[in-house]
Amino acid sequence: MKSIYIVGVGLIGGSIARDIRCLNPNIKLYGIDKNEAHLETALKLGIIDEKAVLEDVVKAQVVIVAIPVDATVVLLPEILDLIPDEALVMESGSTKLEICNAVAQHPKRRNFMATHPIAGTEFSGPKAAYSGLFKGKVNIICEVEKTAFKFQKVAMAIFNIMGMQIRYMDPASHDKHIAYVSHLSHISAFMLGKTVMEKEKNERDIFDMAGSGFASTVRLAKSSPDMWAPIFQQNKANIIETLEEYIKNLKTFKNFMEANAFDAIYQDMKNTNYIKHILNGKE
Amino acid sequence: MKSIYIVGVGLIGGSIARDIRCLNPNIKLYGIDKNEAHLETALKLGIIDEKAVLEDVVKAQVVIVAIPVDATVVLLPEILDLIPDEALVMESGSTKLEICNAVAQHPKRRNFMATHPIAGTEFSGPKAAYSGLFKGKVNIICEVEKTAFKFQKVAMAIFNIMGMQIRYMDPASHDKHIAYVSHLSHISAFMLGKTVMEKEKNERDIFDMAGSGFASTVRLAKSSPDMWAPIFQQNKANIIETLEEYIKNLKTFKNFMEANAFDAIYQDMKNTNYIKHILNGKE
């Protein structure tokens, strides 16, 4: 590997680039981003060596796409059209089905690997990028059998330096499961933030009373709408299902409250405490 | 101050005790707890100097009550009955109205101060206690005018060593506001944990895909039901109101999803992003 192109030099793309630096200092990293300011920042921070444009991927050995999932669906076929036969293209979106479908019939499908490195923070842009973001985290690879073996090897070398644990999954299962453990958390946090801020309009100083518990629960409400609105759109059916179950559980809780069924509430919480054991190592 | 009695040597009581050590090493700290194992642990960890029983508060100069709010309502009048005229009694519950009402007519009302130090973690028990938990956090004092000035001075010396910022509020306003910024966060996290765990029964390995975002949003679902069920009970009316608003916002979000109104979802998230500025310093 000598020439790696990062399409989208934000938190994810920038952090992958920073890890790749450690793989081999002779690799030349090119950045492509429609946000010129991000590109300048990435250059200044040493995340990339040179700015580039989409057409430059004709010279790429590896292309890593880390942009919102709606843009991925549009750009991915164009990138595959452009790249040489010996190049690998990967993307890192939080949805997999629409993205895999978008390139399913592409003549260079075997040059492509669909991945979801499950890592991130509530921040975005190249300034938020750092080496080590992915260390010990899970990376879901979808339809691995559709990627040529020689390109799998290139991808694995990169994931290895990122320190990721690999899991294999079909795109539909990925989208269904990730709706629960990631997409629903974001909606839950956004709506909590909204509910409290609506209240705050009339009740000054309410946030003086907010402690670290509120901060933790609402943290994901700082996430980028540019990234998340397209995710919600692409994973619509699964997310609606999780939302229905979440709302149902909240309503049951409210009904218990109204009926003074605090024993049932106690038991519900006691059962849910089991999450302690599940979360071990996730924090 | 020489003899301070801590009723409830858990996370909060234990952490207050650890801070008081720094105030004056000559102070003798006594622990009272219905959980004998907790009492032994607190003694072993040096949180308290001696175990005691409730009747011993006849010798107290300060009594700090840090037990679930249902037990506080019962024990507080008994403790006020027992203490000498020159002793201060404080409690640290997450609700204030029922607690203040429970002692409103007590002949020793002026010996009592109602406080809510807004700090904590999702852990409980004396092992979770540490000095510095309250540093820089807000402490809400209710009905300060009902506490004799000489006892206010004693309380302030303790809050000072704990490093707390004092705010004054009436009990009803406290309970109304805290429902939004604390109690609702707990329910939101508990129900998120429940929803995902219900799904996990049928879908193995779903938690392999959980990242730090899920861990943060669901963190409060590890909290103690012994502490939280009574809080929900005492603040029932306010919490039901917050739950209704939260469920309403979640339903609107779901309706937007169903109607493909992703522009509205985008705008909602964009507005809620403002929480960034509010949370500064809360984490």
A142 chain-B contacts, CB cut-off 8 A: none
The pLDDT, as a whole number, for residue B206 is 75
Minimal CA separation from A128 to chain B, in Å: 15
User: Above pLDDT 70, what percent of chain B?
Assistant: 97
B187-237 pLDDT, tens digit each: 999 999 999 999 877 666 777 788 888 999 999 999 999 999 999 999 999
The pLDDT, as a whole number, for residue B22 is 81
The pLDDT, as a whole number, for residue A199 is 85
Q: In this structure, what DSSP letter does residue A164 have? A: P
Q: Which of residues 227-246 of B touch A (CB under 8 A)?
A: 228-230, 232-233, 236, 239-240, 242-246
Q: Does residue A187 sit at the B interface (CB-CB below 8 Å)?
A: yes
Handedness of CA B127, B128, B129, B130 (dihedral sign): positive
Average pLDDT estimate for B53-76:
98
Q: Which of residues 54-83 of A touch B (CB under 8 A)?
A: none
The pLDDT, as a whole number, for residue B196 is 93
Task: Give the domain ranges of chain B.
Answer: 3-170, 174-279
Q: Is the pLDDT of residue A23 over 80?
A: no
A123-149 pLDDT, tens digit each: 889 999 999 999 999 999 999 999 999
Q: Does residue B272 sit at the A interface (CB-CB below 8 Å)?
A: yes
Q: Is the pLDDT of residue B23 over 80?
A: no
The pLDDT, as a whole number, for residue A2 is 87
Q: Does residue A231 sit in helix, strand or coil?
A: helix
B262 contacts A229? CB cut-off 8 A = yes
A182 contacts B210? CB cut-off 8 A = yes
The mean pLDDT of chain B is 94
B254 contacts A120? CB cut-off 8 A = no
A79-123 pLDDT, tens digit each: 999 999 999 999 999 999 999 999 999 999 999 999 999 998 888
The pLDDT, as a whole number, for residue A226 is 94
Interface predicted TM-score (ipTM) of this complex, two decimals? 0.92
B242 contacts A254? CB cut-off 8 A = no
Q: Does residue A261 sit at the B interface (CB-CB below 8 Å)?
A: no
A238-280 pLDDT, tens digit each: 999 999 999 999 999 999 999 999 999 999 999 999 998 887 7
The yes or no reply on domain A174-279 and CATH 3.40.50.1100 is no
Q: Is the pLDDT of residue B57 over 60?
A: yes
SS (H, E, C) chain B: CCEEEEECCCHHHHHHHHHHHHHCCCCEEEEECCCHHHHHHHHHCCCCCEECCHHHHHHCCEEEECCCHHHHHHHHHHHHHHCCCCCEEEECCCCCHHHHHHHCCCCCHHHEEEEEECCCCCCCCHHHCCCCCCCCCEEEEECHHHCCHHHHHHHHHHHHHHCCEEEEECHHHHHHHHHHHHHHHHHHHHHHHHHHHHHHHHCCCHHHHCCHHHHHHHHHHHCCHHHHHHHHHHCHHHHHHHHHHHHHHHHHHHHHHHCCCHHHHHHHHHHHCCHHHHHCCCC
Angstrom CA distances, A272 to A220, B185, B192, B229, B240, stand at 21, 15, 9, 13, 20
B254 contacts A243? CB cut-off 8 A = yes
The pLDDT, as a whole number, for residue A200 is 75
A116-128 pLDDT, tens digit each: 999 988 888 999 9
Q: Is the pLDDT of residue B155 over 60?
A: yes
Q: Is the pLDDT of residue B18 over 70?
A: yes
Mutate to test the interface with B, among A182, A212, A268 (most CBs of B within 10 A): A212
A236 chain-B contacts, CB cut-off 8 A: 257, 260
The pLDDT, as a whole number, for residue B278 is 80
The yes or no reply on domain B3-170 and CATH 3.40.50.720 is yes
The pLDDT, as a whole number, for residue A282 is 57
Task: Using CB atoms, pick whichever of A121, A191, A209 lies closest to residue B250.
Answer: A191
A206 chain-B contacts, CB cut-off 8 A: 177, 180-181
The pLDDT, as a whole number, for residue A281 is 56
The pLDDT, as a whole number, for residue B202 is 66
In this prediction, residue A283 has a pLDDT band, given cuts at 50, 70 and 90, of low
Closest chain A residue by Cα to residue B276: A222
Task: Using CB atoms, pick whichever of B182, B216, B222 lies closest to residue A220.
Answer: B216
A209 contacts B138? CB cut-off 8 A = yes
A213 contacts B216? CB cut-off 8 A = no
Give residue for tokens 């949180």: B47
Q: Does residue B210 sit at the A interface (CB-CB below 8 Å)?
A: yes
Task: Using CB atoms, pick whichever of A122, A189, A210 lies closest to residue B181.
Answer: A210
User: Above pLDDT 90, what percent of chain B?
Assistant: 86
| Count of pairs with CB atoms under 8 A, one residue in A, one in B | 306
In this prediction, residue B15 has a pLDDT band, given cuts at 50, 70 and 90, of very high
B269 contacts A257? CB cut-off 8 A = no
B120 contacts A211? CB cut-off 8 A = yes
Q: Is the pLDDT of residue B1 over 80?
A: no
A178 contacts B213? CB cut-off 8 A = no
> What type of residue sits at position A189?
A
Minimal CA separation from A237 to chain B, in Å: 9
Task: Using CB atoms, pick whichever of B209, B225, B271 lies closest to residue A269.
Answer: B225
A134 chain-B contacts, CB cut-off 8 A: none
The pLDDT, as a whole number, for residue B282 is 57
B68-122 pLDDT, tens digit each: 999 999 999 999 999 999 999 999 999 999 999 999 999 999 999 999 999 988 8
Q: Is the pLDDT of residue B283 over 60?
A: no
Minimal CA separation from A233 to chain B, in Å: 7
The pLDDT, as a whole number, for residue A173 is 94
Average pLDDT estimate for A56-81:
98
